[in-house]
Structure 1
Amino acid sequence: SFVLAFALFFQLVADAGLPRMLIREIAKDPEALVPLVGAATSLIWVVSVAVCLLVALIVPFLHFGTDVKIAALVMSVATMATFHAAGYSAVLRAFEDNELNYLGFVLQKLILLGFIVVTIKLKMGLVGFVIAHLVSNVLLWNFYHIIVSRLYARIPLRIDVPLWKSLLTAALPMGGGVMLRQLALQLDILILTWMTNLTTVGLFSGPYRISMALRVIPQTLSLPLYPLYSRTAHLSPARFGEAYQWSMKFFALLSIPFAAFFIAWSKPILRLALGAKFLPALPAMQLLGLGLVPFFLSTLFQYLFAALDEQKRFLTSTCVGSALRILLLIVLIPRFGFAGPAMAFVCAETVIVGIWMFQLTRLGFPANLGNVIWRPLAGGFAMALVLFAAGNARLLWAIPAAVLSVIVYAVVLFALKTFSMEEMHHAREGIAFVSPFIESWAKKLKRDT
């Protein structure tokens, strides 16, 4: 765990939002692909070498055995390989070839799993574990490099100090904000551990890990929106405003059913996932479910601010939100115990989303969320009633009840005219994506041959 945490910290330091800025610049100007990626790749090499030298200076002073020190150094090199892979992956994401991006990700995980199994069979220990990470990460790097070279262009390394400075100036505030958001997700357990006992920490950490497991959903869905935000913010601010409003509406619609399940079925979820001993954590589970709504919405804003080149606003407001979260944790934990961090999570996420929405409104991009949020909330309330009614049902009846609750949610949304004709048209286009997808790939393959 230490080796992974040590290496991942330095990966975050090295990354600093650079691939995100590269995605934005390519999406804005696809014709500048070769000089942009060439300069960014050489910058990634410079940063990687600097970080590896820094790690090499720090590792000898760690109070661990030689094997752990070697593992920490090798693991740091392995994570730098993912940094290089992210540079080429940025090209795929900028051109919205997300299927190739995810293909590489899945293949890397499968290869890593295979190497780890071999490592365990051969009893290679910690060194074998980190070598497995290094080899799989290098293969991922080469996979993305080959795909970019074959489908787009060969990218020669290029030294461009003014462009390096521009990319780093934009990347550092964004990277700082993202790192702070990642740290904020760990603050609850850290401060709870400091202020209470292990029993209280355990009661909170179980439901918290279940709720945080869902973060992959908004994170995965928000990634493809970034190139769209970047293009429209640069070429058509009006379209950017529409994309912002539609995505906020979609994420609100998506988050409310999850919140309804967490609130209404928190007891069976806890019993099934963690066992009856975690049932006292029921209030925390329900509060965390309520917090899923602002949490889902919050995943969009790092990309919205980056697209508008307002990374400093994002960093400043993230600092404010993190400070508020710490204050709430210190105030609420002594009074409410393990429910305190859940309350702090709901309040802090709601406030930070409100701050970000206010800042975007001042920049000329109102979310208009208040005009639409009441409809999915009404649908979520109706859905929760169905779930509460079936809360104690056996599995045979619980599954049909869950399906019925989703149907009720959809019926309420349509009855309240939640979707405009334009949104319905876009939805139909999205459903019929298969034919255009095949055509686009046929063109790419013909161009490649």
Structure 2
Amino acid sequence: MITRVLRNAAWLGLGEVGVKSGLLLAAILVAHASGPSGMGTFTVAYSAALIAVLIGALGQQEVLIREVARSPGAAHGLLGASRLVQIRSARWLLPIAAVGALLVPEGSLRFTLLAFLPYAMLRTATVTYGAAFKGFDRMDVETRARGLETAVAVTAIGVIAILRWPVWTTGAAFSIGAGLGLIWIRRRKGELGSGMSTLGPSSLLSEGLPFMALAVVSQLIANADRFLLELLGVARAEIGYWGTAGIIVWAMAALPQLVSVALYPSFSRQAEAGGSPRQAGLLAGLGGAVCGLVCAGGLWILADPLVRLAFGADFAPAVPLLQRLSLALPGAFAMTVMGSVYAAWRRQRRVLWILGGALLGSLALNMMWIPSMGVLAPATVAPLVYTLTAVAMALGIVGAGTGTGKAE
């Protein structure tokens, strides 16, 4: 198990470093080409695209990883059934998203949201294909596809920055990259064999919806403040400063994500064998919190030179926001790795209640404080919410039973 986890972590680490570095480079290019206001537009649109990916995926990545790990011979059929579920849902989700984007009154943001729609659709397919391979502990396949996607997108954004094209063209750049990544990974589908699915589309959908809800709620905890800042009339440049801080901090959050995904197939097998989630969950949470604390300390110390060097002196107001937001990392790291334990032992509905409460608390505090504090409000709320949520998840694991049980 240790060798397998280390191999998985190595591939995922390579992939996440590449993808997050690419996103950071793209943000730097946008910042230098479009300034704080353009950065604010890019931040809101990209955050919306990430949420669209999670909704469109319908939680099928997590279901595929778990079910393929348990029934490798059914991988081809499971992937086909999952994609069928997603395609059927996209027929009404995509028009709703397009109408929502068209209703945005400000032109630059409206066009940028529309340009990111193809990216959301294509990336959804890519990560779903990648999930089937992850069930075989083949973390390298999605890593390569996402690497191609990111390289193409960043190269295109570099051209956009040189030519000073409008910020909405960044959505087209990401869409082109995602399309090429999907083409590459689809050509590997034959490696999954030809076995039939052990679950039908309706079963996969019902299994996946709690995962989707978890993913969307988690993403909203991290990004809903950007939408609230926009809705409550905070200047787009201020949102750009906040987005700059968020891109740096949440790039660090890729570390527990890669560890979590690397451990997930092994945790699923432990759960199938009737093991207890307590030891695995608490050790994972403690390790995540310690790593997050180290990263937070590093960001606090290096915040000023990092922002000035990467984004320029115009983005100096992002420094105190970055320092405050970095304090959310211990809780965020712990939450991420404990989440894989909840998923492996089919306790996703339990953690959904915890995260739902965290989201409501975050929204309430931000809505109260943003009118008077501006972007300092989410920078203050985030560390509080992530810390309390991590504690609640740890307490939930302490009270968990043993064995696989049925999906809650």
Q: Same fold (TM over 0.5)?
A: yes
In structure 2, what is the equivalent of residue 85 of structure 1? 126
Inter-CA distance 126–273: structure 2 relative to 1 (3 Å threshold): closer
2:281 and 2:338 in contact (8 A); partners too: no
Answering whether residue 53 of structure 2 is matched by residue 11 of structure 1, we say yes
In structure 2, which of residues 138, 141, 147 is the aligned counterpart of residue 106 of structure 1? 147
Distance 2:165 2:327 in 1: 45
Shift of 1:308: 2.0
Is residue 359 from structure 1 mapped to residue 396 from structure 2 by the alignment?
yes
Are 1:119 and 1:129, in contact at CA under 8 Å, matched by a contact in 2?
yes
Bigger mean CA deviation after superposition, 39-48 or 92-101: 39-48
1-structure distance, mates of 2:285, 2:162: 48
Contact preservation (8 Å) 1:192, 1:341: no
Greater Cα offset, 127-136 or 204-213: 127-136
Partners of 1:279 and 1:265 in 2: how far apart? 13
Change in Cα spacing, 1:233 to 1:334, as seen in structure 2 (3 Å) is same
Aligned residue number for residue 68 of structure 2: 26
State which structure, 1 or 2, has the greater radius of gyration over its C-alpha atoms: 1
Q: 8 Å contact 2:149–2:174 — kept in the other structure?
A: no
The CA deviation at 1:77 is 4.5
Count, aligned residues: 357
- How far 1:235 moved relative to its partner? 1.9
Could you tell me which residue of structure 2 aligns to residue 429 of structure 1?
none
| 1:313 aligned to which of 350, 356, 368 | 350
CA distance in structure 1 between the partners assigned to 2:172 and 2:201 by the alignment: 31
Quick check: 1:51 aligned with 2:93?
Answer: yes
Contact 1:295 1:349 in 2 (8 A): yes
Structure 2 equivalent of residue 225 of structure 1: 263
- Distance (Å, rounded) in 1 between the aligned partners of 2:380 and 2:343: 29
Q: Give the match for residue 292 of structure 1.
A: 329
2:77 corresponds to 1:39: no
Deviation by residue 1:294-326 (Cα, 9 ceiling, x = unmatched): 111122243222222222222221110012223
2:59 aligned partner, one-letter code: G
SS of the equivalent of 2:188 reads helix
**AA at the equivalent of 2:142:** N
The answer on 1:234 being equivalent to 2:234 is no
Conserved? CA contact 1:89–1:144, under 8 Å: yes
CA contact (8 A) 1:16 1:172 kept: yes
Inter-partner Cα distance in structure 2 for 1:290 and 1:56: 36
TM-score by length of 1: 0.65
Q: How does 1:385-400 map to 2 (within 5 A)?
A: none
Change (3 A) 1:116 1:308: same
Residues 55 and 256 from structure 1, CA distance in 2 versus in 1: closer, same or farther, beyond 3 angstroms? closer
- Percent same amino acid at aligned positions? 22
One-letter code of the match for 1:167?
L
Instruction: Give the counterpart letter for 1:139 in structure 2.
Output: L
User: Which of 223, 247, 254 pairs up with 2:284?
Assistant: 247
Note the residue ranges of structure 2 that are not aligned, 5 or more in a row.
1-41, 403-408
**Alignment partner, residue 377 of structure 1:** none
- TM-score, normalised via structure 2 length: 0.70
1:5-404 matches, within 5 Å, as 9-52=51-94, 72=114, 76-113=117-154, 133-150=174-191, 152-154=192-194, 163-191=200-228, 198=235, 206-238=244-276, 240-269=277-306, 272=309, 284-330=321-367, 339-364=376-401
2:366, 2:381 within 8 Å by CA — same for their partners in 1? yes
Partner of 2:137, secondary structure, is coil
Letter in 2 for 1:153: G
1:208 and 1:75 map into 2 onto residues whose CA distance is 19
Q: Is the contact made by 1:21 and 1:167 (CA closer than 8 Å) also made in structure 2?
A: yes
Distance (Å, rounded) in 2 between the aligned partners of 1:339 and 1:134: 33
CA contact (8 A) 2:354 2:392 kept: yes
Residue matched to 2:8: none
Structure 1 residues 266-288: Cα deviation after superposition (integer angstroms, max 9, x where no partner): 55555555667777776654433
CA contact (8 A) 2:81 2:200 kept: yes
